[in-house]
Chain A
């Protein structure tokens, strides 16, 4: 974190986004702040509907139109406020400076064009270079992500590749213009574990060799433990805990994080019953007063139902949004 503070690649400050629904406007994330430094990995963790994907879409300004809207806050990328850019300027940023990879590799590729033409198209859109040069770079990119026999793959169509290879092509495309920041939204959820291991390894290499910043959005805490430098835990649209990965896993400071980590089955032993978090995730349209987690929290006090706790430092860089923190 100290490294990131000195030279933050991306700084998100008090971001607040809403989506229009049939029942009116719904604030889906609020008060989300974090930083990502060059060569660092930030993992955003949370269950479905907690706002982790909306956060990434807000950064990229790819919210569904016209329903989605950034209400407040700033996204500062190398000192430039992305929320203030025109759509045209933003298009320049996307793909060249920041790239995004989604969960489903098939939808990110156009089925009627070859892999090669899709890769070179992305290059030609952002950089001045000849077709031959673009093709050479596309080939290099495929080789880099470990696709076997890249020459023949350039002329293949997406459906001719396996799921893992398609995801690698998508990643190759995202990395083509050497972005300074890669946002990967559940990049390996649809893949098998052995393929997932290969892709995570690829991310690690790219981060180390190019100093690329990485935001990894995932619900798999195993992936988080393995990849993250820093972690933010989101619940009902807010960041409830943030800090270095070891600190979060070893001494979690928010009851929700504790429940989340505790309910994971262990690989090392067969437990009896798994600990579980009572209740269910609240509806964003009807969030409880005070702390969003208090109806499910065994430690909740009267204050928790009235005042919203803010993210406060607990130990060093480790911050938690809980009135009772530090819990240990």
Chain B
């Protein structure tokens, strides 16, 4: 929030993070297996992957809710795992989290005011006398009114609850917000409202977001960079534009080819994968994607590829990315400009929506 771009230090620096879960009588589950990335100030990094790829475990470790087996999470250069419990709790105001399910992320027995005042009191953000004023400011920030402060969560719709959850995350003036599938439980029209809100807030306060999602169109919309995760490892990370238009890793391509595009003029073009998603339990010597990859050869099953630079701001973990044919999902054919009458109606809707919060 200082607004000085001079700081070269990344907001978040994740270094070789590993989380193994011991299993009785079996090999440990490698939920996260050596993940490194950085997030700059004011940047949104999206983390994409399918269920069981380790996204949520990674998020928990970044939030210091789970201890890594090895590796470290640095927030503005401070190693979170090296802090005492007290110092960590004091530092927690700098990084907050927004959850997927608006129905389980708010305490049903606390009013909105209680929920929002709690972090203010805890981290002594404002003096006690200013708390009601700050709560109403937070509410207006997320498009709710201060009259709604005395209500309980069950009196709100899913979208409104999600706004309260966002306001709670904002309350302690964080610098990094982890968004764990923040819109996937919401209806289409509400989703757009919440996405706009997240973007506006970033513009206003300069937050960094770690945006975890499986919805690629949302990721495309909100993120500056994308990291693709498969079975506990990053397979591709790069600028959003590059990853969407010229995906290099076979898994990224398969994932992109699988999203249905809301435009009947674009025919589906699927890259089929072999077999089923394995669990993270089976530890492989080689590339974790090799069993499902149509390009895999002996080298892939023997040696695990590491993330290597594949152009400016782009890294790929694949032995063969140079040799793969160009891939086009047909995304670029998506109808960009709606008919004039549609555009006019949409513009009027957005105008009306801006008038009445």
Which residues of A are in contact with B by a Cβ distance under 8 Å? 47-48, 148, 162-165, 192-198, 200-201, 219-228, 245-246, 249-252, 255, 258-271, 273-281, 296, 298-299, 327-328
Which residues of B are in contact with A by a Cβ distance under 8 Å? 50-51, 157-159, 187-193, 195-196, 199-200, 214, 216-218, 220-222, 240-241, 244, 254-255, 257-266, 268, 270, 272-273, 275-277, 331-336, 338-339, 341-342, 345-353, 355-356
A197 CB, nearest partner CB in chain B, Å: 4
Which A residue's beta carbon lies closest to that of B183? A265
CB contact under 8 A between A200 and B353, given known A266-B334, A271-B221: no
The answer on a CB contact under 8 Å between A226 and B192 is no
- On chain B, the residues within 8 Å of A226 by CB distance are 260-261, 264, 268
The answer on a CB contact under 8 Å between A193 and B216 is yes
CA distance A79 to B213 in the complex (A): 46
- On chain B, the residues within 8 Å of A224 by CB distance are 262
- On chain B, the residues within 8 Å of A271 by CB distance are 221
Interchain residue pairs with CB less than 8 A apart (15): A47-B187, A47-B189, A148-B276, A194-B255, A194-B277, A196-B258, A225-B266, A249-B263, A251-B342, A275-B192, A276-B353, A277-B189, A281-B187, A328-B339, A328-B341
The answer on a CB contact under 8 Å between A193 and B189 is no
B114 CB, nearest partner CB in chain A, Å: 24
CA distance A264 to B216 in the complex (A): 12
The answer on a CB contact under 8 Å between B264 and A193 is no
Most chain B CB within 10 A, of A192, A252, A274, is at A274
The answer on a CB contact under 8 Å between B348 and A298 is yes
The answer on a CB contact under 8 Å between A220 and B260 is yes
- On chain B, the residues within 8 Å of A163 by CB distance are 51
In the A-B complex, list the 3 residue pairs whose CB atoms are closest, starting with the nearest. A222-B260, A265-B221, A263-B192
The answer on a CB contact under 8 Å between B188 and A264 is yes
The answer on a CB contact under 8 Å between B353 and A277 is yes
B243 CB, nearest partner CB in chain A, Å: 12
- On chain B, the residues within 8 Å of A280 by CB distance are 157, 159
CB contact under 8 A between A194 and B262, given known A47-B189, A201-B270, A279-B356: no
CA distance A259 to B342 in the complex (A): 9
The answer on a CB contact under 8 Å between A258 and B345 is yes
- On chain B, the residues within 8 Å of A274 by CB distance are 192, 195-196, 221
- On chain A, the residues within 8 Å of B346 by CB distance are 258-259, 262, 275
- On chain B, the residues within 8 Å of A328 by CB distance are 339, 341
- On chain B, the residues within 8 Å of A196 by CB distance are 258, 260
Most chain B CB within 10 A, of A255, A260, A270, A276, is at A276
Q: Given A266-B220, A268-B334, A298-B348, 18 more contacts at CB 8 Å? A: A193-B50, A193-B258, A225-B260, A226-B264, A246-B264, A249-B262, A255-B345, A259-B349, A260-B188, A263-B192, A264-B262, A274-B192, A274-B221, A276-B193, A276-B196, A276-B349, A279-B356, A280-B159
Among the listed B158, B217, B276, B352, which residue makes an inter-chain contact with A265, where contact means beta carbons less than 8 Å apart? Answer: B217
Which B residue's beta carbon lies closest to that of A50? B187
Most chain A CB within 10 A, of B254, B264, B353, is at B264
Among the listed A225, A228, A251, which residue makes an inter-chain contact with B261, where contact means beta carbons less than 8 Å apart? Answer: A225
The answer on a CB contact under 8 Å between A263 and B189 is yes
The answer on a CB contact under 8 Å between B352 and A263 is no
CA distance A259 to B190 in the complex (A): 11
CB contact under 8 A between A275 and B347, given known A267-B244, A268-B331: yes
The answer on a CB contact under 8 Å between B262 and A273 is no
A159 CB, nearest partner CB in chain B, Å: 14
Which B residue's beta carbon lies closest to that of A204? B268
B40 CB, nearest partner CB in chain A, Å: 17
- On chain B, the residues within 8 Å of A219 by CB distance are 187-188
The answer on a CB contact under 8 Å between A269 and B336 is yes
Among the listed B241, B265, B338, which residue makes an inter-chain contact with A270, where contact means beta carbons less than 8 Å apart? Answer: B241
A151 CB, nearest partner CB in chain B, Å: 16
CA distance A268 to B276 in the complex (A): 29
B154 CB, nearest partner CB in chain A, Å: 14
CA distance A251 to B339 in the complex (A): 7
